[in-house]
A and B are shown apart, each in its own frame.
Chain A
């Protein structure tokens, strides 16, 4: 089920094989893909390329995924972009930490490309998420409606 308007996904992962794998599969699945290898790049891309969703690995050099997510959510320009956290760390507390940092969903590695796409679509199609997204894009009306 392809969408007429291609959604743009920012894939943030320092491990090139994984990043390129997900990018390739996302493009295969009909998404626009922008890549970033660390948190700082992710912030830059998020501002410049305006993705619809960000796939964020948490263990990153320069700036880790938690910090990057906090900054994205703190920045008015990017706060409305949903963030799906992705980590190979399976220890307890990781997912809670990610949610506190502002992540909208949490996916554990290993994660098959098709499972990831399914998760991305779920987040994008979520009615609350969609409504929120629209409202946030037209920030002027947020207060009026809320």
Chain B
């Protein structure tokens, strides 16, 4: 068992008579008590209620019954009995009972001379006794007869435990749990009953004094601050209920609690002893104690007063005021005081950052207060609206002009109801003297009550924008121009295409018309020519009678000219048919020598007249060829006719050769005529070309013959070529594929 501090154990061990001690009974728990003392600040109010409830009661039974009800209510004690030994009686009588039938308790009493009774034992030994439950007959024999029957119950002596005087009553209760503050309860109840028991013996004056004492006692107990009376040595003489929780602990209390109590007693003694020795009179000081309930720190303000009493000697009355909460509150206040300062620092940092941002904006920003005075501007704005040091008069004027413009704008903004306004200002750049058109965007800043607090204006240099917009405009113009040109070109192309298409159609139509026209003309030419040739022929045949020789010769001229005209007409028709693509091929297989015989036969009359020789040379084994017989014949007739025309003496040879290697047939017409100069040898194949183009030319013909022949040869997948030497003659060679047109 840990030792109590000397000062406290001394006080506890000695005990004092309450009456002899100024009316306040000492209620410190006895070191000999066995039941654990339960402290709990939560029941403080309930305890105060109990003490208050005793004040008006003057009868023992009344007090006992009230106390037992309190016990039942606060500590849930379902069954309890209060026994008291009246003065001079050798028995304990029931003065209060809760939870029993009245019959079971009214007659219950305990004779004090039965020493074997555990109840008597508890009374004489001043200590709580536990009576266990009775399970057997032996158990019952050992147990006293009580209204609890076989149930277990506790027995607590009434009157403060550990007091010198013998207890004068017992408290019996069940169930088995020993409620908190039972010591205190027993003390308070015992004190009250003792008070009532002693009343008849005192005088009225004493009674008034006693009542006063009881009142004081109650008041002190009800005070929530610990109140103590110590002697000069620091020993505890009187303590109220709150003080007991700090400075007293029963032996059954936990080691931690007892330690805390020892610590507190020591701290208090040291504080008081010094106090008592060094000073007299009231003084305040702080005292840090430990809360025995939970070990937390409790800060008290110690208010101690030295009292001088002739009989009792010098003592110290100490009142401890718990200031833990106060300290906490003051700490909080301090903390709260600190908070605005932190907020201020943060706000200042925020403001600095904002200034930095505003200054870094290239556009001038001006903040104006509700009165129109400038409260903030960034550096670009300063350049516009503040006069630089050593500025010339001109610059000053510019800045003043700028300021005037801006003031006017802001004034307009302030009087208007608009929250935003966009305007333009013609400012001057004080650095360069250039005109500086700006766009001003102003916004009102309103407080939460809608009051105008500031106007923020941002100025935007329009020069850059106007430059850009000019560039954009130029670009757009160029683009538009380009688009227009492209559209025009496209339209032009479309127009040209349309024209070409129309031209093509027109050409096609013209060509068709020409062919149609030529066909028609050919028909129209042929009809009269047919009659002319026909009648000439009839005259020559003597259909109308005999014709004289001279007339016959003339008729012959008519006939030959008519035939020539017919040839011309046919040639023109052929060219137009070839050009119009209306010269169809009729491929057939034929023998070359047969064809040459026909040609020879047809040309015999003119050959006869020309006195030239016409010979043919065809290999005997020449195989038939596939070609358009009519076209080949036409070509040969033309070539031979030309040869006759341009040959004055000698002969004409038609030669046919077949080349198996090239799979070609060559038909050549060689003459001994005037020949063609090499330079002219290609010209002769052109349309309407005769080498002698003069009106007095020696040779007739349309000049279409060779052109038609070459075209026909090409249609037949062949070719027509010429070899000639001037004055020696010409050889025209037609080369044709033997298998006809592919």
Check: B501 CB closer than 8 A to any chain A CB.
Answer: no
Q: Count chain A CB atoms within 10 A of each CB in B519, B523, B573 and give the residue with the most.
A: B523
Main secondary structure of the interface of B (DSSP, over half): helix
Residues on the A chain within 8 Å of B633, using CB: none
B561 vs chain A, min Cβ distance (A) = 13
Check: B277 CB closer than 8 A to any chain A CB.
Answer: no
Q: Contact check, B522 vs A88: say whether CB atoms are below 8 A apart.
A: yes
Alpha-carbon gap, A112 to B535, bound state (A): 9
Residues on the A chain within 8 Å of B519, using CB: 89-91
Residues on the A chain within 8 Å of B530, using CB: 18, 88, 109-111
Residues on the A chain within 8 Å of B573, using CB: 90
Q: Contact check, A109 vs B541: say whether CB atoms are below 8 A apart.
A: no
B720 vs chain A, min Cβ distance (A) = 22
Contact pattern, A 55-93, Cβ under 8 Å of B = 1, otherwise 0: 000010000000000000000000000000001111110
Q: Which of A25, A28, A109 interacts with B526 by CB under 8 Å?
A: A109
Contact pattern, A 85-127, Cβ under 8 Å of B = 1, otherwise 0: 0011111100000000000000001111110000000000000
Which residue on chain B has the smallest CB distance to residue A17? B531
Alpha-carbon gap, A22 to B531, bound state (A): 9
Q: Contact check, A89 vs B577: say whether CB atoms are below 8 A apart.
A: no
Check: B510 CB closer than 8 A to any chain A CB.
Answer: no
Which residue on chain A has the smallest CB distance to residue B531? A17
Contact pattern, B 563-593, Cβ under 8 Å of A = 1, otherwise 0: 0001000100100010000111000000000
Closest 10 CB pairs of A and B: A110-B530, A88-B526, A88-B523, A17-B531, A109-B530, A21-B534, A112-B537, A91-B519, A109-B526, A28-B543
Q: Contact check, B538 vs A24: say whether CB atoms are below 8 A apart.
A: yes
Q: Contact check, B566 vs A114: say whether CB atoms are below 8 A apart.
A: no
How many chain B residues have a CB neighbour from A under 8 Å? 24
Check: B696 CB closer than 8 A to any chain A CB.
Answer: no
Q: Contact check, A114 vs B522: say whether CB atoms are below 8 A apart.
A: no
Q: Contact check, A22 vs B534: say whether CB atoms are below 8 A apart.
A: yes
Q: List 29 A-B contacts (CB under 8 A).
A: A15-B527, A15-B531, A17-B528, A17-B531, A18-B530, A18-B534, A21-B531, A21-B534, A21-B535, A22-B534, A24-B543, A25-B534, A28-B538, A88-B522, A88-B530, A89-B519, A90-B522, A90-B523, A90-B526, A91-B577, A92-B577, A92-B582, A92-B584, A109-B526, A110-B533, A113-B534, A113-B537, A114-B537, A114-B541
Residues on the A chain within 8 Å of B582, using CB: 91-92
Alpha-carbon gap, A112 to B582, bound state (A): 27
Q: Which of A28, A88, A90, A114 interacts with B527 by CB under 8 Å?
A: A88
Given contacts A25-B543, A28-B543, A91-B577, contact A109 B527 (CB under 8 A): yes
Q: Contact check, B534 vs A59: say whether CB atoms are below 8 A apart.
A: no
Check: B529 CB closer than 8 A to any chain A CB.
Answer: yes
How many chain A residues have a CB neighbour from B under 8 Å? 21
Residues on the A chain within 8 Å of B566, using CB: 110
Alpha-carbon gap, A114 to B570, bound state (A): 21
Alpha-carbon gap, A18 to B538, bound state (A): 12
B638 vs chain A, min Cβ distance (A) = 17
Which residue on chain A has the smallest CB distance to residue B559? A112
Alpha-carbon gap, A22 to B577, bound state (A): 30
Known: A59-B523, A91-B582. 17 other contacts (CB 8 A): A15-B527, A21-B531, A21-B534, A21-B535, A24-B538, A24-B543, A25-B534, A25-B538, A88-B527, A89-B519, A90-B519, A90-B522, A90-B573, A109-B526, A110-B529, A110-B534, A110-B566
Residues on the A chain within 8 Å of B583, using CB: 92
Which residue on chain A has the smallest CB distance to residue B584? A92
CB-CB contacts below 8 Å: B474-530 with A: 519, 522-524, 526-530
Residues on the A chain within 8 Å of B541, using CB: 114
Which residue on chain B has the smallest CB distance to residue A116? B534
Q: Count chain B CB atoms within 10 A of each CB in A25, A87, A109, A113 and give the residue with the most.
A: A109
Q: Count chain B CB atoms within 10 A of each CB in A18, A88, A92, A111 and give the residue with the most.
A: A88
Alpha-carbon gap, A113 to B541, bound state (A): 10
A8 vs chain B, min Cβ distance (A) = 20
Residues on the A chain within 8 Å of B538, using CB: 21, 24-25, 28, 113
Which residue on chain A has the smallest CB distance to residue B524? A88
